Amino acid sequence: MSYLEFLQAHGPRMLDGALITLVQFVLATVVSVGIALAFGLMRLSPNRAVKGFATVYVEIFRGTSLLVQLFWIFFVLPLFGITMDKFTAGFIAVGLNMGAYGAELVRGAILAVPKGQWEAAKAINMTPAQRMRRIILPQAFVIMLPPWGNLVIEILKGTALVALISVTDLMFQARQINISTFLSVQTFGTALILYYVFARFCVTPFMRSFERKMAFKIGRA
Amino acid sequence: MQWRWEWTWELLPRFLDATGKTLMAAGGGYAIAVVLGLVLVLAQRTPFRPLTVVVRELVEFIRSTPLLLQVFFVFYVGPQFGINLSPWTSGLIAIGLHYGAYLSEVYRGGIESVPKGQWEAATAINMSTVQTYRRLIIPQALPPAISGMGNYLVGIFKDTPMLSVIGVAELMHTANAVGAQSYRYLEPYTMVGILFLAISLPTAFFITRFEQWVRRKMGM
């Protein structure tokens, strides 16, 4: 069987899987950004209980494997009455995990905004909320975008794990095709290339241009 | 749902044994990655353009595709060409390759952080390339690389559960087996999580300490 025939026979199925991967990736990224923002800000809270809670969250999710968390959320949470279908459990687990890494990026970026900016905002009588929203966060946003570019790739790679709870993503389809055809090089090779092309020629260039646009917007380019 | 303590204690020896396997997988994979990373970074610094371009792209390729898929690839591709690799061998190769690519980036950052004057000085006093690397560049490139290397040591440890999919009998594999046998997932998966935390948090702490110690020693 030539590679072309292989693609004709199994290509559509792989593309179906790739579409699911894409949706999982987008949803997981949305969850990550939300979690990262919330917990990154909480980590900087003067309230010790809030700060402690956020620290525990970040340490737990960064200290254990994504796979363990995914299985825990999918198999153990239902025992406590929180049942999610596999699709939801998939992107929620990836999002919660990567959000913990993102929270550290948010925290680092906020702390990296020059002190004079904080003082100036205070001097013109802005409330803490105004200062955060209008002065600090926009600048922190530009600072943290480059490391987010890497994290977003990690999110994409993380979504491959949802195949293990039978979400029919690209990884899952590749495994199924491999089981029925035994053409491992073609199957897994094609899947690898699909992930690579998406990461290297779609996600990364998008993040780069986003970085430039945002830097330009606050007058840093 | 009730937590069953007696069962937990009953399972514990088996889980501790599996933790040993997990640590072995992480250690073995890391050893491969440390060496391979060095090869990958040095290959990118040779003056031979085609080689540097190919290696650069290879590193990007490995870094931007999922480890899980790479594990499957390594495990299943061999038999198609008549090479049968055991789960352990292919698991270590896959994870070593993946983290080797990451570590090469860490090394690269370290090497690039050495000021250009150091290279010029080495040339000026007639040091050979090998001498320059060994006596000047690597000692200075190491301290800034330690935190990255440490992060990936913890990272490789946390990624070993992925080897369970090809049948490496580490922690996750054991938890899956226990869960499937007893239809109870609460204790096995929670224990795995706690064991991971119990190892990765102290390790991360000691790495930070070690980095500070090295920096002090080097007078930085």
Question: Å from A73 to nearest chain B CA?
Answer: 10
CATH number of B5-217: 1.10.3720.10
Task: Give the residue among B112, B149, B143, B106 at the shortest CA–CA distance from B219.
Answer: B143
A73-124 pLDDT, tens per residue? 999 999 888 999 999 999 999 999 999 999 999 999 999 999 999 999 999 9
Query: Is B189–A160 a contact, with Cβ atoms under 8 angstroms apart?
Result: no
In this predicted structure, the answer to whether residue B173 has a pLDDT above a threshold of 70 is yes
- Provide the percentage of residues in chain B whose pLDDT is more than 90: 77
What is the structure's pLDDT at A112? 94
A201-210 pLDDT, tens per residue? 999 999 999 9
Residue B3 pLDDT grade (very low, low, confident, very high; cuts 50, 70, 90) = confident
Cβ neighbours around A166 below 10 Å, total: 12
Cβ neighbours around B219 below 10 Å, total: 5
Q: Which residue has the tokens 């570590």?
A: B103
| Global model pTM greater than 0.95 | no
B91-116 pLDDT, tens per residue? 999 999 999 999 999 999 999 999 99
Residue A39 pLDDT grade (very low, low, confident, very high; cuts 50, 70, 90) = very high
Query: What single string gives the DSSP state of each residue in A75-111?
Result: IIGGGGT----HHHHHHHHHHHHHHHHHHHHHHHHHH
Averaged pLDDT, B138-149: 88
CA A60, CA B176: separation in Å to the nearest integer?
21
In this predicted structure, the answer to whether residue A137 has a pLDDT above a threshold of 80 is yes
By Cβ distance, the residue of B185, B186, B193 closest to A64 is: B193
Tokens of A162: 């949802």
Instruction: Indicate the domain borders of chain B.
Output: 5-217
In this predicted structure, the answer to whether residue B81 has a pLDDT above a threshold of 90 is no
Nearest-by-CA chain B residue for A178: B76
A146-171 pLDDT, tens per residue? 999 999 999 999 999 999 999 999 99
Average pLDDT, chain A: 94
By Cβ distance, the residue of A75, A153, A178 closest to B76 is: A178
Query: What single string gives the DSSP state of each residue in A40-52?
Result: HHHHT-S-HHHHH
Residue A42 pLDDT grade (very low, low, confident, very high; cuts 50, 70, 90) = very high
Q: How buried is residue A59: exposed, middle or buried, by Cβ count under 10 Å (0-12/13-18/19+)?
A: middle
Contact in structure between B187 and B3 (CB atoms under 8 Å): yes
Query: Is A161–B68 a contact, with Cβ atoms under 8 angstroms apart?
Result: yes
Tokens of A165: 């709870």
Instruction: Look up the ipTM and state it.
Output: 0.90
Q: Does B112 touch chain A (CB under 8 A)?
A: no
Contact in structure between A88 and A39 (CB atoms under 8 Å): no
| Centroid of chain to Cα A78 | 24
- Provide the percentage of residues in chain B whose pLDDT is more than 70: 99
Residue A221 pLDDT grade (very low, low, confident, very high; cuts 50, 70, 90) = low
